[in-house]
Structure 1
Amino acid sequence: MSIDLPGYAKAVFRYGRPVVLLTALIMSIPGEIHLAEVAGWEAVTIWGVTFNVAWLMPVCVSVYAACSAVIADVSKRLGLPNRKSALAGAVAALALALAAQDVSHLIQLDYMGTSWVLVALVSAIPPLVAFHMLHMAAAPESTASEVVVEEAADEFEDDDENVSAKPRRRGKPGRPGLTEEEVLAAVEKLKTAGDEVTPENLGQVLNRSARTARRYLSQIKRRENAATEPQHTGTLQLSI
């Protein structure tokens, strides 16, 4: 079913989260830069341009933590092969971001001093982050958006027949699929009610899971693109 949220709740849901995330990332920058400077990173000159390498540490800590959390969530929802690695990376990235802030402020307020152990640990952050990001990028054979499109082809027939006429994979029983008209009607219902057309909201209207609703939306999007770009033969990329 469709949930009609009050205006202030919709504003918080839509705009509050990115504002809080951006604010938290900005507040984390000074401590992470200071920690990098304590570990020995300093200004370097490349092609006549002087740049402080320590300024890049927030990307390796806070931004990495945010990216790992998103990748872990998407991998879990879509059942991608790298989901365990992404989840472990997200937890490790969060612990790293917390530790970086604590240690930096403890040093700045003279509660503790630097040591060779601290320098060695901080120095290891960039290569470890690079290794884990490359590992997650190389784990699945195809991208998450391609996986959704490939699975979506099983939901609608080319002649708009019900998907229940097709044999189900792996012999698992389940409810019959929906026609394209039924899905489009549900989408229009959400738009009429002023609700955002998301897999979660569409799944509630159709009484299906969010993952199934995402497949329906992907198939509709592919047909719309095919109608507007009949000569397009490249890989469809969707935002998920």
Structure 2
Amino acid sequence: MSIDLPPYAKAVFKYGRPIVLLTALLMSIPGEIHLAEVAGWDSVTIWDWTFNVAALMPVCVSVYAACSAVIADVSKRLKLPNRRSALAGAVAALGLALAAQDVSHLIEQDYMGTSWLLVGAVSAIPPLVAFHMLHMAAAPESTASVVEVDEPEDEFEAGDDESDKPRRRRGRPGLTEEEVQAAIACLNADGREVNPANLGEVLNRAPRTARRYLERQAKVAEKSVGQPADGMLPLAI
């Protein structure tokens, strides 16, 4: 469905969100750096380069919260195995970012002072963030940044028999039988093996979607000539 937004709405949608996100992250930096300094982080010297380690705290708090929110949203949309961990991490990161800002400003305005509990809690932030990110990276292969998703689409209709017609589902427009046959002929002409991976590459479809097209073509060939079409079987699936 296409929605024709007015120009100002398009500008807000396209530019407003990243500007607000960047502004919020920038405004969070001073409080998080201050909280790290209260916990005892100081400058370190590596060779002749002096660096304020406390300046990295915003990455462990606000940037981590933003990353966790994106990971949780993608995991939920694609129903990945790590979606519960990602959601828990996003909620914890949001709570951490809120608490860091509140505590930092309360200390800055002399409403509260530091304590061993506060120092211990702030000191635990970097290792906990690192642990969660490593946990996400070590998740199953299906949670990688590129995920093979079985694409819902309308497949081509092979014949007049209603039993041969695939059930229609909403999704990407299906390919015609001629398009699939042309792609198979292209693979044969190039001397490439006709398998789901190669056919999916030519058709710009996922391998599992290409597998269905191959199985459908094989059934069509068997019904039309009584034997598999040249270049179709045996399939390397």
Same fold (TM over 0.5): yes
Q: Tell me the alpha carbon deviations over residues 152-186 of structure 1, each in whole angstroms, 9 at most, x when there is no partner.
A: 4x7487xxx35999998xxxx763763248xxxxx
SS of equivalent residue, structure 1 residue 139: coil
Letter in 1 for 2:148: V
Q: Helix, strand or coil for the counterpart of 2:32? A: helix
Secondary structure at the aligned position of 2:2 is classed as coil
| 5+ long unaligned stretches in structure 2 | 177-199, 206-237
Match in the other structure for 1:125:
125
How far apart are residue 59 of structure 1 and its match?
A: 0.1
Are residue 71 (structure 1) and residue 71 (structure 2) matched?
yes
Higher relative contact order (CA 8 A, sep 6+): 1
> TM-score of the superposition, structure 2-length normalised?
0.67
Contact 2:43 2:53 in 1 (8 A): yes
Task: Write out aligned runs for 1:138-177 (5 A).
Answer: 138-142=138-142, 143-148=144-149, 151-152=150-151, 155=153, 161=156, 175=169
Distance 1:113 1:144, change over 3 A: same
1:7 partner letter: P
Structure 1 pair 4/162, CA: closer, same or farther in 2 (3 Å)?
farther
The aligned runs of 1:72-221 (5 Å cut-off) are: 72-142=72-142, 143-148=144-149, 151-152=150-151, 155=153, 161=156, 175=169, 178-180=173-175
Residues 56-100 of structure 1: CA distance to partner in whole angstroms, max 9, x if unpaired?
A: 000000000000000000000001110000001000000000000
- Residue pairs, 1:33-72, within 5 angstroms: 33-72=33-72
Give the conservation status (yes or no) of the 8 Å contact 2:39–2:123: yes
User: Structure 2: how far apart are the matches of 1:89 and 1:115?
Assistant: 26
Matched residue, 1:238: none
Distance 1:156 1:175 in 2: 6
* Percent pairwise identity: 73
Change (3 A) 1:33 1:174: same
**What runs of 5+ residues in structure 1 fail to find an aligned partner?**
182-218, 225-240
User: Which residue is equivalent to 1:223?
Assistant: 204
4+ runs deviating over 6 angstroms: 163-168, 219-222
Considering only CA atoms, is the larger Rg found in Structure 1 or Structure 2?
2
Q: Which whole-Å CA distance do the structure 2 matches of 1:113 and 1:87 have between them? A: 32
Cα distance, 1:41–1:179 mapped onto 2, change above 3 Å = same
- TM-score normalised to the size of structure 1? 0.66
Change (3 A) 1:130 1:167: farther
1:139 is displaced (CA, Å) by 1.4
Report what 1:195 is aligned to: none
Q: Which amino acid aligns with 1:116?
A: W
Shift of residue 141, structure 1, vs aligned partner: 1.3
> Which secondary structure state, in structure 2, belongs to the residue aligned with residue 104 of structure 1?
helix
Quick one: distance in 2 between partners of 1:45 and 1:139? 36
Residues of 1 paired with 2:104 and 2:119: CA distance? 12
CA distance in 2, matches of 1:166, 1:131: 52
* Contact 1:80-1:144 within 8 A present in 2 as well: no
Give the RMSD, CA atoms, in angstroms: 2.9
